[in-house]
């Protein structure tokens, strides 16, 4: 009888201990995090994403970009992230405050994208890269996402946003390749990926 009581008390302590350690303590440490105003710029971090970038985030999720790309920069001493130019500082919990769900990623077949919007600011480059990665980034093994584009008959002049493709990828004469709205939204999302605001806890 005595042994059974001890057994159940042990189970209770094990569950209560893990609840304190895994639920309660993180809630105390991180549960009340809020966006902060950055004194240097007067802007809030993390900023709210514009609508197009929020839609683009769903495209990013839907097409599994996170299977090959992480969005987390490790501190110096934990890997070569800063040497690879993946971010000016490590990422911290506050950077992900507005993300639901957080797209940290688990694999790094491609570069970390936490600061993709700082490294490559040219929307046309991103569109070309999605259509034909190796064209924008020689030697790339990233798969193309051509279904985010459509080939259609060109009007009198070239439409704004039509891709500038070399002969081997060019559409049939009289046609042009145009990004679909999902591709434009996705690129707006990529251009907004910045985790560089100087936060005190990231120093
Ligand atoms: C099968 C793995 C794989 C998938 C899936 C993938 N990528 Fe990539 N990505 C790569 C590799 C490898 C590179 C590095 C070569 C290059 O620049 O193309 C890369 C590079 C990039 C870069 C350039 C980053 C930089 O700073 O140089 C961007 C932006 C990017 N990918 C966005 C995306 C988006 C958006 C998606 C989803 C639509 C995606 N990737 C899906 C493998 C992948």
pLDDT of 74:
95
**Does the C-beta of 88 come closer than 6 Å to ligand 1?**
no
How open is the CA angle 56-113-22, to the nearest 5 degrees? 95
pLDDT of 200:
86
Question: In the predicted model, what is the mean pLDDT of residues 184-201?
Answer: 95
**Does the C-beta of 131 come closer than 6 Å to ligand 1?**
no
Reported as a single tens digit per residue, the pLDDT across 72-125 is 999 989 999 999 999 999 999 999 999 999 999 999 999 999 999 999 999 999
Reported as a single tens digit per residue, the pLDDT across 22-37 is 999 999 989 999 999 9
Reported as a single tens digit per residue, the pLDDT across 156-191 is 888 888 999 999 999 998 999 999 999 999 999 999
Q: Is residue 1 pLDDT above 70, yes or no?
A: no
Which atom of ligand 1 lies at the shortest distance from residue 65's CA?
37
**Does the C-beta of 134 come closer than 6 Å to ligand 1?**
no
Residue in 62, 68, 148 to alter for ligand 1 test, most ligand atoms within 8 A of Cβ? 68
CA 56 / ligand 1 centre spacing (Å): 15
pLDDT of 127:
97
| Distances in whole angstroms, Cα of residue 174 to Cα of each of 10, 156, 164, 166, 177 | 76, 9, 14, 15, 11
**Does the C-beta of 72 come closer than 6 Å to ligand 1?**
no
pLDDT of 55:
97
pLDDT of 2:
77
CA 142 / ligand 1 centre spacing (Å): 5
pLDDT of 158:
80
How open is the CA angle 118-70-107, to the nearest 5 degrees? 145
Q: 96 near 90, Cβ under 8 Å?
A: no
Nearest to 123 by CA among 189, 49, 197, 194: 189
């Amino acid at each position: 009888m005595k042994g059974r009581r001890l057994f159940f008390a042990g189970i209770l302590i094990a569950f209560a201990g893990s609840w304190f350690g895994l639920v309660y303590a993180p809630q105390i440490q991180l549960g009340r995090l809020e966006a902060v105003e950055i004194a240097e710029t007067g802007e809030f971090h993390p900023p709210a994403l514009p609508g197009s970038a929020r839609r683009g985030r769903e495209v990013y999720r839907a097409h599994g970009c996170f299977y090959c790309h992480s969005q987390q920069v490790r501190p110096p001493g934990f890997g070569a992230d800063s040497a690879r130019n993946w971010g000016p500082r490590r990422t911290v919990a506050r950077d992900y405050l507005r993300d639901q769900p957080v797209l940290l990623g688990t694999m790094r077949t491609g570069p970390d994208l936490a600061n993709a919007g700082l490294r490559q600011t040219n929307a046309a480059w991103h569109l070309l890269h999605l259509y034909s990665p190796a064209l924008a980034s020689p030697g790339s093994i990233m798969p193309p996402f051509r279904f985010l584009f459509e080939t259609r008959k060109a009007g009198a002049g070239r439409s704004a946003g039509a891709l500038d493709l070399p002969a081997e990828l060019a559409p049939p004469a009289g046609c042009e390749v145009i990004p679909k709205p999902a591709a434009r939204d996705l690129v707006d999302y990529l251009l907004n990926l910045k985790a560089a605001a100087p936060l005190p806890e990231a120093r």
